[in-house]
Structure 1
Amino acid sequence: MFKTDYLWLWAAWSIMAYTIGHLVTGKTRLTSQELRQTWIWEKKVELRDLAYAKLIRVPGLDWLIAPRLYVRTLMGKFTVIYACDPAMIEEFKRLSAELKSFRDM
Structure 2
Amino acid sequence: MPVIKANTLPTGNLKGADHGATISLILDHSEPGQGPRLHRHPYDETWVVIEGNLTFQLGDEHLEVNTGDIVIAPSGVPHKFTNRGPARSHMVCIHASPTMITEWLE
Q: TM-score, normalised by structure 2?
A: 0.22
Structure with larger RCO (C-alpha < 8 A, sep 6+): 2
Higher helix share: 1
Q: TM-score, normalised by structure 1?
A: 0.22
Higher Rg: 1
Higher strand share: 2
